C-alpha cells in the first residue's frame, strides 16, 4: 500500500519520522498542499509564501534525488486527499502533528473526520518537544528531554515511488505556485532584505553562528544595532521546519563538547555562556508552542479571564494604523516597524517593545496588533506568537509586567542613534540631543533643521509617561484582587513553566503568586 506523506511545517527529509517510516513500509508519495483558505487567513502574508516556496524548491530536489519527487497540489486538504483516493485507491496518510492557527486546527479536524469516514489510516508523529493531550505541566520538561535525547533521524537512503502517475486538475507542476489568490508572490514586490528560505541557508547560518557569534550572543542580542549579527537567525527555518529543533539541540551539544575539549586559553571567551543561553531558548521555543497546543483559543482569547475585553472600549483604529505604519512619533518604535516591514525580522527586545507600546501606552487590545505582527514576522510561529503577545500585553496574569519607556529604551539600546537614523531618513540630520524626543525641539530649531513636527515627522500619539502610569495602575489594581490571584494560579497550573533548568523534576511550589519565567520575547535564537 502507498503511504502519502503530507508535508506541512516540516519542509525537510532529515529527522522526519513520517517520511522515514513510510520509506520502510513501501511506496511513498510526498505531497505538499497549497490551501487557499489557509493562505487567505489574516495572519498570512506573501513573505511567508515566498519563503515556503524557496524551502520547497530544496525539498523537491532532495526528494527527487531519493527517488520519489514531491507533488504540489492546490485545494483544501480534504479535496486533495479525496482526489488522491479516487486515483490511488486505498492509501495510508502520514504526517507530523501541527500546532498552527485555529484555521489549521479546524483543517486537521476535517481531515481526521474524512479519514474515519473513508477508512484511511492517518498516523501523526510528534513535532519537536510539543506534547499532544498533555495532562500535567509538571511532566513536560522531562518529556521534552526525552524527545530531544535520541539522535536525529537520518534521511531515508531511497524512496520507492508510486507505480503510476496521478493526473488531476488540483495537481500543480513541479515548482508550481498556488493560483487564483488575492495576492501572489510573483505579482507583489519582494523584500530583498529578507532571509531566503531553504535548509542549506539554515545550515550555513548555524555554522556561522557557532564559529563567529557565540561569544557575542548574550551581550549582543538585546540591541537592534548588534542583534542581527549576534543572533542565530534560525527562527524562520525552525518555524517552517527546514530544520528540526532536535537537530539544533544536538548541534548545540556537539559544539559544547568541542568547546569543553579545548584548552581554556584557546576557547573563545564567553562561548560556553552563549551556547547555554542559546540552548535555553530552544527549550522555551517548545514551551510556548505547548501553550497554544493545550489551548488553541489563545489565538484570540485572553489567557486570564479577568483581562478579557479590558481594552476593547478604547480601541482606536487611527492609533492602530499609525502604529502599523511606524508613524507613532516615537523614533525607536517607528524605526523598529520600518526595519520589520523591510526585512521581516527584528530582535526580541524590540518585538517586545512594539507590542508593549501598543498594549500599554496606546492601550489597544492585543488581537489586531498581533495579526499585523504575524504578517510581518518572517518567522511567524503561531504557538510562540500568541502566548508571547499575551505575555507582553499583560493578559496572562502570571508574567511580570514589562512596560517599556520608548525614550529610555532608545537611549539604552541605540545611544548614538545609528539604528534610528538608518531606518528613519527624515531624522538623519537631527542633533543627538533631540533625536529620541524630537517633539521637544523648539519651533525655531525645527524650522532650521527642516523637520517640523506634525508635518515632516508625526507628533507623538500619546503622552507616553502618563499612558504608562494609567496602564500600570489599572493592571496592578486588577492583579491584586484575590479572585484574580486565584485564577492566576489556575493559569499557572495549565501553562506555567515548572522547570527552567530542565533537570527533569518540578521546582518547588511557592505560596506567592507564580510567574512564568523570564520575558524572552518572540525570537528564540
Are 365 and 452 in a shared domain? Answer: yes
Q: Per the domain annotation, does 287 fall within a domain? A: yes
Q: Domain tally for the chain?
A: 3
Are 410 and 467 in a shared domain? Answer: yes
Q: Per the domain annotation, does 369 fall within a domain? A: yes
Ramachandran sector of residue 517 (left: φ over 0; alpha: ψ -120 to 50; beta: rest): left
Q: Residue 441's closest CA among 432, 326, 421, 405?
A: 432
Helices 482-495 and 464-479 pack at an angle, to 10 degrees, of: 90
Q: Which of 294, 309, 328 is the last residue of a domain?
A: 294
For residue 180, pLDDT beyond 80: no
The pLDDT tens digits of the residues spanning 4-38 come to: 999 999 999 999 999 999 999 999 999 999 999 99
The pLDDT tens digits of the residues spanning 303-339 come to: 999 999 999 999 999 999 999 999 999 999 999 999 9
Average pLDDT score over residue span 101-128: 97
Q: Per the domain annotation, does 259 fall within a domain? A: yes
Are 266 and 362 in a shared domain? Answer: no
Q: Per the domain annotation, does 53 fall within a domain? A: yes
Q: Which of 125, 156, 173 is the last residue of a domain?
A: 125
Are 278 and 322 in a shared domain? Answer: no
Provide the mean pLDDT of the chain.
Answer: 92
For residue 52, pLDDT beyond 90: yes
Are 120 and 267 in a shared domain? Answer: no
Which CATH number do you get for residue 380?
A: 1.10.579.10
Are 29 and 109 in a shared domain? Answer: yes
Are 403 and 455 in a shared domain? Answer: yes
The pLDDT tens digits of the residues spanning 267-294 come to: 999 999 999 999 999 999 999 999 999 9
Which CATH number do you get for residue 101?
A: 3.40.50.620
Q: Which of 294, 319, 341 is the last residue of a domain?
A: 294
Q: Per the domain annotation, does 138 fall within a domain? A: no
Helix (H) or strand (E) segment spanning residue 94:
strand 91-96
Are 326 and 358 in a shared domain? Answer: yes
Long-range contacts, stretch 119-123, CB < 8 angstroms, 24+ apart = 119/90, 120/81, 120/85, 120/90, 120/91, 120/92, 120/93, 121/92, 121/93, 122/92, 122/93, 122/94, 122/95, 123/18, 123/21, 123/92, 123/93, 123/94, 123/95
Q: Per the domain annotation, does 108 fall within a domain? A: yes
**Domain extent at residue 323:** 297-495
Are 361 and 309 in a shared domain? Answer: yes
From CA 523, how far away is CA 337, in angstroms rounded? 16
Are 256 and 304 in a shared domain? Answer: no
Are 367 and 479 in a shared domain? Answer: yes
Cell of 313: 472600549
Residue 281 · residue 491 · CB < 8 Å: no
Q: Per the domain annotation, does 472 fall within a domain? A: yes
The pLDDT tens digits of the residues spanning 421-478 come to: 999 999 999 999 999 999 999 999 999 999 999 999 999 999 999 999 999 999 999 9
Residue 304 · residue 486 · CB < 8 Å: no
Are 465 and 326 in a shared domain? Answer: yes
Q: Per the domain annotation, does 517 fall within a domain? A: no
Which CATH number do you get for residue 256?
A: 1.25.40.80
Amino acid at each position: 500500500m502507498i503511504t502519502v506523506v503530507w508535508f506541512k511545517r516540516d519542509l525537510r527529509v532529515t529527522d522526519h519520522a513520517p517520511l522515514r517510516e513510510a520509506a520502510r513500509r513501501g511506496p511513498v508519495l510526498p505531497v505538499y498542499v497549497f490551501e487557499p483558505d489557509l493562505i487567505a487567513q489574516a495572519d498570512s502574508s506573501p513573505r511567508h509564501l515566498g519563503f515556503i516556496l524557496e524551502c520547497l524548491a530544496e525539498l523537491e530536489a532532495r526528494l527527487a534525488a531519493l527517488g520519489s519527487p514531491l507533488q504540489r497540489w492546490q485545494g483544501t486538504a480534504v479535496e486533495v486527499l479525496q482526489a488522491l483516493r479516487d486515483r490511488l485507491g486505498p492509501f495510508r496518510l502520514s504526517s507530523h502533528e501541527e500546532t498552527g492557527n485555529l484555521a489549521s486546527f479546524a483543517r486537521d479536524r476535517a481531515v481526521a473526520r474524512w479519514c474515519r469516514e473513508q477508512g484511511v489510516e492517518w498516523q501523526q508523529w510528534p513535532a519537536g518537544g510539543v506534547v499532544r493531550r498533555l495532562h500535567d505541566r509538571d511532566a513536560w520538561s522531562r518529556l521534552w528531554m526525552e524527545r530531544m535525547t535520541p539522535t536525529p533521524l537520518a534521511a531515508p537512503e531511497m524512496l520507492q515511488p508510486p507505480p503510476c502517475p496521478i493526473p488531476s486538475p488540483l495537481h500543480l507542476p513541479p515548482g508550481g505556485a498556488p493560483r487564483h489568490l488575492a495576492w501572489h508572490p510573483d505579482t507583489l514586490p519582494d523584500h530583498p532584505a529578507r532571509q531566503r528560505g531553504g535548509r542549506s541557508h539554515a545550515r550555513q547560518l548555524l555554522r556561522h553562528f557557532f564559529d563567529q557569534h557565540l561569544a557575542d550572543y548574550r551581550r549582543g542580542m538585546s540591541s537592534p544595532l548588534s542583534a542581527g549579527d549576534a543572533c542565530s537567525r534560525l527562527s524562520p527555518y525552525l518555524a517552517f521546519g527546514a530544520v528540526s529543533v532536535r537537530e539544533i539541540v544536538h548541534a548545540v551539544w556537539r559544539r559544547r563538547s568541542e568547546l569543553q575539549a579545548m584548552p581554556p586559553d584557546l576557547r573563545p571567551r564567553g562561548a560556553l555562556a552563549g551556547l547555554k543561553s542559546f540552548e535555553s531558548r530552544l527549550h522555551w521555543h517548545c514551551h510556548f508552542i505547548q501553550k497554544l497546543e493545550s489551548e488553541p483559543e489563545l489565538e484570540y482569547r485572553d489567557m486570564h479571564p479577568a483581562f478579557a475585553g479590558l481594552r476593547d472600549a478604547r480601541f482606536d483604529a487611527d492609533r492602530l494604523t499609525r502604529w502599523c505604519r511606524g508613524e507613532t512619533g516615537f523614533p525607536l518604535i517607528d524605526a523598529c516597524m520600518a526595519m520589520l516591514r523591510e526585512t521581516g525580522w527584528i530582535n526580541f527586545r524590540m518585538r517586545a517593545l512594539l507590542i508593549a507600546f501598543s498594549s500599554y501606552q496606546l492601550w489597544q487590545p492585543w488581537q489586531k496588533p498581533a495579526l499585523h505582527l504575524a504578517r510581518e514576522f518572517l518567522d511567524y510561529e503561531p504557538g510562540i506568537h500568541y502566548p508571547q503577545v499575551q505575555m507582553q500585553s499583560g493578559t496572562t496574569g502570571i508574567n511580570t509586567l514589562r512596560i517599556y519607556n520608548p525614550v529610555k529604551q532608545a537611549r539604552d539600546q541605540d545611544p548614538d542613534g545609528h539604528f534610528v537614523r538608518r531606518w528613519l531618513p527624515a531624522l538623519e540630520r537631527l542633533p543627538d540631543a533631540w533625536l529620541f524626543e524630537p517633539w521637544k525641539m523648539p519651533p525655531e530649531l525645527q524650522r532650521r533643521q527642516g523637520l517640523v513636527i506634525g508635518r515632516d515627522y508625526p507628533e507623538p500619539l500619546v503622552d507616553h509617561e502618563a499612558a504608562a502610569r494609567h496602564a500600570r495602575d489599572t493592571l496592578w489594581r486588577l492583579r491584586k484582587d484575590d479572585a484574580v490571584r486565584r485564577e492566576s494560579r489556575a493559569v499557572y497550573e495549565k501553562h506555567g513553566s515548572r522547570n527552567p533548568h530542565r533537570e527533569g523534576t518540578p521546582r518547588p511550589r511557592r505560596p506567592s503568586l507564580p510567574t512564568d519565567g523570564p520575558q524572552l520575547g518572540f525570537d528564540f535564537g
